[in-house]
């Protein structure tokens, strides 16, 4: 039960863990939370309840197309039925139409069909969707339930209200909890003794490409030094800090990659040396990273960020780039990462970062213990300990 679709522009932890499982020969059923493309390819099946034939027929009825033949288009996307069932694992949609019982029934049936006799069957939750109340039924089918605790959900501005009920249930009823940050791990231990610290990591081979000479993307500014960021740009992004840095360093080009809110854009659009480059495909990130002189993580320090283990810090380092950050607890002590507690210190560390050459040997030694292979080893060991056998 990931929080992000398989074919989203952003590649995150659920994708990386699924890919590592596939590399190890496991079958993976990826339950898209949104209505996106569904398909089966080798050991990977990307699925959504709206792909069930019932909903296809219902959609045709609503469109008065029941007797019309619709040619199949390879790779076509499902059309969201927004009034009735759009994000079926979210509470507000499950209360409408007759989606709750039907979606649960269809999902249970799918998981039952995916279940493999004679081997371990694992159900991952990345968010406490209301489907957590089906955990007893999933366990009766033979599933081991893992809650991959990646964030302090209560700290988000738009956290669904039902998380207050579903997350404690999930924390208590999961067989295993893996937590990405130490504060989350300590929280998990209060509910479940089978909790394990399992931080984020990096696809090393992918981001090592940033160390190779490559063509400058056309939308990067010509000026140098270039200070780079990639990720989701939302309320945790410290616009005041970036504005201060951009004004103090007018000859620095601040390049922001990723989706952003209109509010944040409005706060920074008047700065000529701040560039919103928008979303980029995961495959293109090393090319951009190569042309950055330094990278930044300018996050507001609050309850959400204090429990965040940023994937991007590992990715920046794999590309050989120094990192200037606000004082996020999880990045303390990492090589060539410069936590900055004040506006002035952040700017001083920018000067430091653009003037140094990172020692790649030190970075590589650090990253040896921060690959997705290492992280999946932790998960496999935890599951084996729970089940008494390897998965």
For residue 96, the domain's CATH number is 3.40.50.2000
Q: Is residue 351 part of a domain?
A: yes
Instruction: Give exposure, 32-56, as e/b (b: 16+ Cβ within 10 Å).
Output: bbbbbebeeeeebbbbbbbbbeebe
Position 81 scores a pLDDT of 32
> What is the residue range of 218's domain?
204-367
Tokens read off for 365: 């030694």
Cα dist. 54→36, 57, 66, 69, 139 in Å?
A: 17, 5, 12, 16, 27
Three-state DSSP state, 177:
strand
363 and 377 housed in the same domain: no
231 and 161 housed in the same domain: no
Position 351 scores a pLDDT of 98
Phi, psi of 21 (to 5 degrees): -60, -40
Are the C-beta atoms of residues 85 and 106 closer than 8 Å to each other?
no
190 and 219 housed in the same domain: no
215 and 322 housed in the same domain: yes
Q: Which residue has the tokens 């936590």?
A: 339
Position 52 scores a pLDDT of 57
180 and 287 housed in the same domain: no
Number of domains in the chain: 2
Please state the separation of Cα 55 from the chain's center in Å: 29
Position 388 scores a pLDDT of 62
264 and 187 housed in the same domain: no
237 and 149 housed in the same domain: no
91 and 226 housed in the same domain: no
Q: Is residue 5 part of a domain?
A: no
**DSSP category for residue 172:** H
Tokens read off for 40: 């089966």
Q: Is residue 340 part of a domain?
A: yes
What's the rounded Cα separation, in Å, for the pair 87 and 185?
Answer: 29
31 and 110 housed in the same domain: yes
**DSSP category for residue 210:** G
Per-residue pLDDT of the chain (391 residues; tens, 9 = 90+): 788 889 888 899 999 999 999 999 999 999 988 766 788 899 999 988 776 555 555 554 545 544 444 443 333 333 333 333 344 555 555 444 455 677 778 888 888 889 887 678 999 999 998 889 989 999 998 999 999 999 999 998 888 888 999 999 999 999 999 999 999 999 999 999 999 999 999 999 999 999 999 999 999 999 899 999 999 999 999 999 999 999 999 999 999 999 999 999 999 999 999 999 999 999 999 999 999 999 999 999 999 999 999 999 999 999 999 999 999 999 999 999 999 999 999 999 999 999 999 999 999 999 999 999 999 999 999 999 887 654 5
267 and 211 housed in the same domain: yes
**DSSP category for residue 8:** -
Cα dist. 188→302, 304, 357, 365 in Å?
A: 19, 16, 39, 30
Q: Is residue 7 part of a domain?
A: no
Position 76 scores a pLDDT of 32
Q: Is residue 182 part of a domain?
A: yes
Position 71 scores a pLDDT of 43
219 and 160 housed in the same domain: no
| This model's pTM is above 0.75 | yes
Three-state DSSP state, 346:
helix
What's the rounded Cα separation, in Å, for the pair 379 and 34?
Answer: 26
Q: Is residue 329 part of a domain?
A: yes
Q: Is residue 2 part of a domain?
A: no
Identify the bridge partners of residue 60 per DSSP, sorted by sequence position. Answer: none
109 and 167 housed in the same domain: yes
Examine residue 225 and say whether the peptide bond preceding it is cis (omega within 30 degrees of 0): yes
Q: Is residue 361 part of a domain?
A: yes
């Amino acid at each position: 039960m990931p929080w992000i679709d398989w074919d989203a522009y952003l590649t995150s932890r659920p994708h990386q863990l699924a890919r590592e499982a596939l590399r190890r020969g496991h079958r993976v059923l990826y339950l898209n939370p949104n209505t996106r493309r569904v398909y089966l390819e080798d050991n990977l099946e990307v699925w959504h309840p709206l792909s069930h034939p019932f909903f296809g027929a219902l959609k045709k009825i609503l469109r008065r197309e029941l007797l019309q033949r619709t040619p199949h288009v390879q790779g076509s996307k499902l059309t969201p039925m927004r009034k009735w069932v759009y994000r079926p694992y979210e509470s507000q949609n499950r209360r409408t139409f007759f989606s709750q019982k039907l979606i649960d029934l269809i999902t249970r049936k799918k998981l039952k069909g995916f279940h493999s006799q004679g081997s371990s069957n694992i159900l991952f939750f990345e968010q406490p969707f209301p489907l957590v109340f089906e955990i007893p039924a999933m366990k009766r089918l033979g599933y081991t339930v893992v809650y991959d605790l990646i964030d302090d959900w209560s700290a988000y501005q738009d956290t669904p209200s039902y998380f207050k009920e579903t997350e404690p249930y999930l924390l208590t009823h999961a067989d295993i909890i893996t937590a990405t940050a130490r504060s989350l791990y300590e929280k998990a231990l209060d509910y479940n003794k089978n909790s394990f610290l399992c931080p984020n990591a990096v696809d090393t081979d992918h981001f090592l490409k940033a160390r190779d000479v490559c063509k400058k993307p056309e939308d990067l500014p010509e000026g140098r030094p270039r200070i780079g960021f990639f990720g989701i740009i939302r309320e945790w992004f410290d616009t005041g800090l970036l504005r201060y840095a951009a004004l103090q360093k007018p000859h620095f080009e601040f390049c922001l990659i990723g989706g952003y809110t209109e509010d944040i854009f409005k706060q920074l659009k008047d700065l000529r040396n701040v560039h919103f480059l928008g979303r980029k495909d995961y495959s293109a990130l090393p090319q951009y990273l190569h042309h950055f002189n330094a990278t930044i993580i300018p996050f507001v320090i609050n309850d959400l960020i204090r429990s965040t283990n940023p994937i991007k810090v590992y990715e920046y380092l794999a590309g050989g780039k120094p990192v200037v950050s606000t004082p996020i607890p999880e990045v303390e002590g990492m090589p060539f990462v410069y936590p900055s507690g004040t506006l002035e210190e952040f700017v001083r560390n920018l000067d430091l970062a653009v003037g140094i050459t990172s020692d790649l040997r030190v970075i590589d030694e650090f990253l040896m213990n921060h690959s997705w292979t290492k992280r999946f080893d932790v998960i496999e060991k935890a599951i084996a300990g729970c089940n008494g056998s390897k998965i």
